Amino acid sequence: MSTEPVSPCAIELVGVTKRFGKQVAVQDLTLRIPAGRTLGLIGPNGAGKTTAIKMLMGLLPMTAGRARVLGIDPAVKPVLLKRAVGYVPEMHFIYRAMRAAEVIGFCRTFYPTWNNPLCAELAGRFEIDLHKKVKHLSKGSLAKLALVLALAHEPEVLILDEPMTGLDPLAREEFLEGVVHGLCDRSRTVLFSSHMLSDVQRMADTIAIIHQGRLLVSCLTDDLLKTTKRIRAVVRDGCTPDQPPEGTIWQRFERREWLLTVRPFSPATLEYLRGTYPVENVEVQDLGLEDVFKDYIRGQKVQA
Amino acid sequence: MDIDPHSSAPIYQQVADQVRRAVAAGVYRPGEAIPSLRALAVELTVNPNTVQRAFETLEREGLIQARKGLGMFVTENGAVSARRRSAAAVYATFVQGIRAAQAASMPPERIRDSFDKAWGDTHAEVRDEP
């Protein structure tokens, strides 16, 4: 093995695999997030998002591969890692019998960099009633309290694992506003996972789609939109095309209409179609992120 | 201002477009400040890096300029430039419509008829424009 280069990435997973017995939860996952970027990790429930994040946080040992956050190996320096990261897990593990203010007092003892004035400012901005017991807070306030706890020690890295599950639309919007403020306060690297694209698409400059433990695509959001196209080709009667062009993510043929989603699309894609099949009419459309995500996932289902 | 999640246009372009439209419509006039980066990022709940990129695009276009410590201001030519860009967007919409018509195998006369009908239908509104 050659010597490892210094990582320019704030968050890095390389060839990470997790097996539970014979079950493969995460398979050979490689993700790199450069400093200052926000990656939206999306995939259906059970795709392996939380497992991957737990390995990154040093909360779960990996079967194979390596992880680094700001150069820290979670398996070697778990405490240092947790101090460097603001982490909002899917289940907000906050003591329910404590008042919100007591939770803050408790959590702050773990972080040498805890910033009291910032914490008070964030709690005020999110309108959290600090005198209330945690069990009496609304789901939205609880999620925002978890975000305050994640931001108050001024971490450079923020890891949000399905933080908005169970929130109503208004609470989701408020939580996202909290994240935006967090990103305005200082440059941060963010890993934001969700099973709903709509949660992350306005926040993420990079999108990674994960399905059944495997990474389907990881790409700058703008590039993903630019390079993915939907083709609608009408072919002559009696022709049943069976060889889709290179880069086909999803396809469906019905009657004379062949729908294809292709990435990366190029003029060569159309040349191939026209050269291989009796194409009567062809139309190329741009897609929104929602459709790109949907086609990646349903493309997998057809193959399975 | 709002972001369309189903649009295939990158979000920074959508943000730039929103600001451009607001300037073209006179919401922000030459010499006036546009909302701060934080205010826009929170209002649209988008990444501040994305708003920054939109600002850079608009600055290159000459629509806005930075004043140290005060934020972004609409330039003297900002409104004119925003209207010119809006005209380009209108043109692109027509091109898109014509392409859709061609894909539907519509003959050219039918495409023109369809434009005339759309014009007629909206004429009352159009006449009110300056």
Q: What is the pLDDT of residue A220?
A: 93
Nearest Cβ partner for B5 among A198, A281, A287: A198
Question: In a mutagenesis test of the B interface, which of A222, A228, A293 is the best target, namely the one with the most B β-carbons within 10 Å?
Answer: A222
Q: What is the mean pLDDT of residues A148-170?
A: 94
Residue A303 pLDDT greater than 70, yes or no: no
pLDDT surpasses 50 at A1: no
pLDDT tens column, A215-272: 999 999 999 999 999 999 999 988 889 899 999 999 999 989 999 999 999 999 999 9
- Residue B4 pLDDT level (bands cut at 50, 70, 90): confident
Complex confidence, ipTM: 0.84
Min distance B119 CA to chain A CA atoms (Å): 26
Whether B48 contacts A182, CB under 8 Å: no
Check pLDDT > 50 for residue A7: no
**Rounded distance, CA A172 to CA A140, Å?**
7
Residues A224 and B8: beta-carbon distance below 8 Å: no
Domain ranges, ordered by start, for chain A: 9-222, 229-286
* pLDDT band at residue A2 using 50, 70 and 90 as cut-offs: very low
Tell me whether A135 touches chain B (CB under 8 Å): no
pLDDT in tens, A238-252: 888 989 999 999 999
Domain spans, chain B: 11-79, 90-128
Interchain CB distance below 8 Å, B8 and A225: yes
Interchain contact A169–B (C-beta under 8 A): no
Residues of B in contact with A39 (CB under 8 A): none
The Cα B38–Cα A219 span in angstroms is 26
Percent of chain B whose pLDDT exceeds 70:
94
- Checking if the pLDDT of A80 tops 50, the result is yes
What is A9-222's CATH number?
Answer: 3.40.50.300
What angle (nearest 5°) sits at the alpha carbon of residue B95, between those of residues B89 and B99?
A: 145
User: How sure is the predictor about B89, in pLDDT bands with cuts at 50, 70 and 90?
Assistant: confident
pLDDT digits (tens, 9 = 90+) for A174-215: 999 999 999 999 999 999 999 988 888 889 999 999 999 999
Cβ neighbours of B57 in A, within 8 Å:
none
Please check whether residue B47 touches A, CB under 8 A: yes
- Residue B84: pLDDT over 90: no
Name the pTM for this structure: 0.86
Q: Where does the pLDDT of residue B86 fall: very low under 50, low under 70, confident under 90, or very high at 90 and above?
A: confident
Residue of B nearest to A175 (CA): B45
Q: What is the pLDDT of residue A302?
A: 65
Chain A, chain B: beta-carbon pairs less than 8 Å apart:
66
Q: Which residues in chain B have Cβ-Cβ distances shorter than 8 Å to A289?
A: 5
Residue in A with minimal Cα distance to B14: A202
| Average pLDDT estimate for B5-28 | 90
Six token digits for residue B46: 């988008």
Residues of B in Cβ contact (< 8 Å) with A220 = none
Are B10 and A36 within 8 A, CB to CB?
no
Q: Does A290 touch chain B (CB under 8 A)?
A: yes
CATH numeric code, B11-79 = 1.10.10.10
Q: How many CB atoms lie within 10 A of CB A223?
A: 14
How many other C-beta atoms lie within 10 A of the C-beta of residue A233?
A: 21
**Position A15 confidence tier, pLDDT thresholds 50, 70, 90:** very high
Which residues, 6 or more positions from A253, have their beta carbon under 8 angstroms from its beta carbon?
A240, A241, A259
pLDDT at B123 over 80: no
A180 min Cα distance to partner chain B (Å): 6
CB contact A221 to B (< 8 Å): yes
The answer to whether residue A185 neighbours chain B at the CB level (below 8 Å) is: no
- Is B105's Cβ below 8 Å from some Cβ in A? yes
Q: Residue A98: which residues within 8 A CB-CB, separation 6 or more?
A: A106, A133, A134
- Residue B125 binned pLDDT confidence (cut-offs 50, 70, 90): low
- The pLDDT tens digits for A93-128 are 778 889 999 999 999 999 999 999 999 999 999 999
